Amino acid sequence: MRPHCYYSNFLLASSNCFTTVVFNDLKYPPRFNGVTHINMGCSTCTTAKDGVVTGCQSKGGCSSGGCNRMNVYDWFADIPISFNENFNIVEVSFKKGARKGFYRNPSNFELHKGGLVVVEAAQGYDVGEVSLQGELVKSQMKKRKVTERDDTIRNILRVANEQDTNTIVDIRAKENETMVRARAISRSMNLEMKIGDIEFQGDNKKVTIFYTADDRVDFRELVKVYAKEFKVKIEMRQIGARQEAGRIGGIGTCGRELCCSTWLNDFKSVTTQTVRYQNLAINTDKLSGQCGRLKCCLNYELDTYNDALRNFPKHADRIDTEDGMAYLKKTEILKKQMWYEYDTQRGNFFKLDIQDVKELLFMNKSGKKPKSLDDFAIVEDVKVDESKHEDLVGQVTIATLEEKERKKRRNKNHNRNKKR
């Protein structure tokens, strides 16, 4: 690991869960397919005062884009020679990691992760940051189904010089002001659209405006006004609500940065059926994310619940007994337990194991009725440690208080005699 980098906590991403581990001694954390998604500090975060890194206090939304937007750590970056010497494709990210692409290095420039490069664009050129190189790029290309002979892979023109760096800094500084002006113009034309983000090209000759809309929007007149106002080529690109949240960023209800703005690239559909499988109450306020859609994290444990549901009996809504008909009221999927209640005994629940439920259903199918669910119910003895409740209100006696006062006096006299 490079000693000049400061790392706080990293995000190990997988298809089902994510794990956060704090490490301060710069030890190597676990790997996931060779790539670890981490929170890297920006230039202001590395400015220490009295030995403490203060940071920019922007919670991942600073203008430098280095806090935590699709950042990755290349574990093979220190390997001098690639396993395939003819492989010269690198991964380049643009504008805080919201957009990435693969580019060839035909001139064999000496590149390193985090360095700025000038790459070809559809018209003109663009400036991006090298995010991956070497063998890990082949893994990412395989994941995105991109081959080495793909004609869409453009070339790296040169390593960014000081002029390119100053230009891209000036461009990023005026993007926020331009977005505010673009929103005001679209609102004045009464268009049913919301502009979420804009991105200038590295040569300052093109700007891409990302917007969301429920229906199709006729923005032909709007593009003419934008071109006259900003004096650059305008490209309008419609994105979904999840993509908008990923570009803007934010903090989720879990207290962490949004998954879509940190490590999540593929947005899988989340339906209400996913909520039902996990036996969750359908509450849109709690199940919706910042984008207004169902949270992507509802899919993380879905496979675990589906595997557990395979062992549950089917058509177990009711069990016929001699005491009456018992109906299913609650299911604890991970504990593999089912709760039943008689119509004549409201409020009296019977907790059964799924194996017992299968046995009872087999008896009903055979024409037999069990006497009662009491013989199969799980009874848990709750043991209360009374020693922990000695000082609770109502259990403290006057004798206990007097004994404490006597101990205080004895300790006070003992310390006084010891001083003498």
Name residue 342's beta-bridge partners. 326
How far apart CA 244 and CA 240 sit, in angstroms, is 6
pLDDT at 324: 87
Distances (CA, A) of 188 to 75, 153, 170, 216: 50, 40, 28, 18
Q: Are residues 170 and 238 in the same domain?
A: yes
* Number of structural domains in the chain: 4
Q: Are residues 193 and 220 in the same domain?
A: yes
pTM of the predicted model as reported, rounded to 2 decimal places = 0.65
Residue 84, class by beta-carbon neighbours within 10 Å (0-12 exposed, 13-18 middle, 19+ buried)?
A: exposed
Q: Are residues 191 and 223 in the same domain?
A: yes
252 belongs to a structural domain: no
pLDDT at 209: 94
pLDDT at 385: 61
109 belongs to a structural domain: no
348 belongs to a structural domain: yes
Q: Are residues 171 and 239 in the same domain?
A: yes
- State which of 243, 260, 281 marks the end of a domain: 243
Q: Are residues 411 and 351 in the same domain?
A: no
Beta strands in 243-312 (DSSP E): none
Name residue 359's beta-bridge partners. none
Q: Are residues 324 and 390 in the same domain?
A: no
pLDDT at 170: 92
- State which of 68, 92, 126 marks the end of a domain: 68
pLDDT at 275: 92
Q: Are residues 337 and 370 in the same domain?
A: yes
9 belongs to a structural domain: yes
Q: Are residues 171 and 205 in the same domain?
A: yes
22 belongs to a structural domain: yes
21 belongs to a structural domain: yes
Q: Are residues 18 and 40 in the same domain?
A: yes
pLDDT at 384: 60
340 belongs to a structural domain: yes
Q: What's the domain range around 393?
A: 386-419
Q: Are residues 366 and 390 in the same domain?
A: no
Q: Are residues 189 and 232 in the same domain?
A: yes
Q: Are residues 345 and 402 in the same domain?
A: no
Buried b (16+ CB within 10 A) or exposed e, 56-71: beeebbbebbbbbbbb
pLDDT at 39: 39
pLDDT at 26: 34
Q: Which two tokens stand for residue 322?
A: 């001699």
4 belongs to a structural domain: yes
| Cβ neighbour number for residue 367 with a 10 Å cutoff | 6
Written as tens digits, the pLDDT of the chain (420 aa) is: 333 333 333 333 333 333 333 333 333 333 334 443 433 344 445 444 554 445 555 544 454 444 556 666 666 666 655 555 678 899 999 876 778 899 999 998 988 888 999 999 988 999 999 988 888 888 889 988 999 888 889 999 999 999 999 999 999 999 999 999 999 999 999 999 999 999 999 999 999 999 999 888 898 999 999 999 999 999 999 999 999 998 888 899 889 989 988 888 888 889 889 998 998 888 888 899 989 999 999 999 999 999 999 999 988 999 998 888 999 988 999 999 999 998 877 778 889 999 999 999 999 989 888 888 888 888 776 666 655 555 555 556 677 778 888 888 888 887 777 776
Here the CATH number for the domain that contains residue 225 is 3.30.300
Helix (H) or strand (E) holding 195: strand 194-200
- State which of 243, 270, 289 marks the end of a domain: 243
